[in-house]
Amino acid sequence: MYDIIVVGSGPTGLSAAIHSANFGLRTLVLEAGEKAGGIATRAHGISNYPGFQRKTSGLRLMERMTLQAERKSAEIHTSEEVISLSLNGIDKVVETGKGKYQCKALILATGDGMKGLGMKWETWIGGGVAYCEECGAPYFKGKEVVVVGNVSNAVDEALRLTKIAKSVMLVNHANMIRINGEKRKQLQAEHVTLIEDFVGKEIKGKPPSKKLVLHHVSNSATKTLKTDMILVIGGVKPFVSVLRKAGIKTHRQGCILVDKFGRTNVKGVFAAGGCASTVKDIIPACVGDGAIVATCARLYLAYRH
């Protein structure tokens, strides 16, 4: 029996584990990947992390956070993907491919809820890339937005964005979306620029602008789109179905609905960072979110009876 189980070992999950263990709570971190740190390990030249006068790499930062969590006596299990959650009782059961674990409170810190499209730097650490139109609405307001997707709901997301964005372009990634005549008319009526016969290859640039590099599907032609925000729509991760099956409410794109304390609709279950319904796409913000939700989970444990 653990006091707290944290699912995910990115900046949010490790921060939550550090604070949870520091409170004297028996803490377990479950990471699906082979190494702790999540996609933050791919970040290069981090220059906005408090306390670092010089740039550091995401890998170095995550290694230091992992070591700190372990020194605080948090257990970290890698290569353990969560396949089932049982959340009906006061104690929660988390099942992985290797076993079952019990906890009094659960913190979900699984990162962005979407699959990617295989574009270089699509998991951008530092701003300008989003995976959920609902969660990122304030960031799209009055901005130039490029939607790049390979599933049909990318069309609907692009149409919704026309209500708040300055302009919208939709890239039909590798022509994988079948867009019927009616949808094409809707896109045209809402002044959405539709780009087909191209594949998204790479995201470049720094906030407040981004560049999306496209390659033609049948020749060597390339195209670069300059924009304020890029919305990646690539289908929902399998883990989202685990959440929904367990009764946790999510947005259409899989982001978990939480209140300002990180509480989900299920008592004793919290969520923070990129998987939650508030956009947190820079590492310091994710670290802060992890600290807040660990503190709220501690208060829940103190009064849960």
Q: pLDDT tens digits, residue range 187-244?
A: 999 999 999 999 999 998 876 678 999 999 999 999 999 999 999 998 777 789 999 9
Q: What pLDDT does 230 receive?
A: 92
Non-local (6+) Cβ contacts of 237 within 8 A are 113, 114, 115, 254
CB-CB contact of 28 with 75 (8 Å): yes
Structural domains of the chain in order of their starting residue, each with its CATH number: 2-113+236-303 (3.50.50.60), 129-233 (3.50.50.60)
d(CA 305, CA 158): 46
Q: What pLDDT does 40 receive?
A: 84
Non-local (6+) Cβ contacts of 262 within 8 A are 107, 270, 271, 272, 276, 289, 292, 293, 296, 297
For the chain, the 3-state helix, strand and coil shares in percent, each to the nearest 5, are 30, 30, 45
Per-residue CA distances from 234 to 45, 102, 112, 135, 256 (Å): 27, 33, 11, 16, 17
CB-CB contact of 4 with 20 (8 Å): yes
Residue 162 has pLDDT above 60, yes or no: yes
pTM here?
Answer: 0.82
Residue 126 has pLDDT above 60, yes or no: no
- Largest Cα separation within the chain, whole Å, is 65
- In one-letter notation, the amino acid at residue 267 is K
**H-helix segments, the chain:** 11-22, 58-71, 137-140, 153-161, 181-189, 238-245, 283-303
- In one-letter notation, the amino acid at residue 44 is H
Burial of 33 (0-12, 13-18, 19+ CB in 10 A): middle
Lowest mean pLDDT among 60-69, 128-137, 189-198, 244-253: 128-137
Q: What pLDDT does 130 receive?
A: 84
Edge-first strand order for the sheet with 222-227 is 198-204, 210-216, 222-227
Mean pLDDT, all residues of the chain: 91
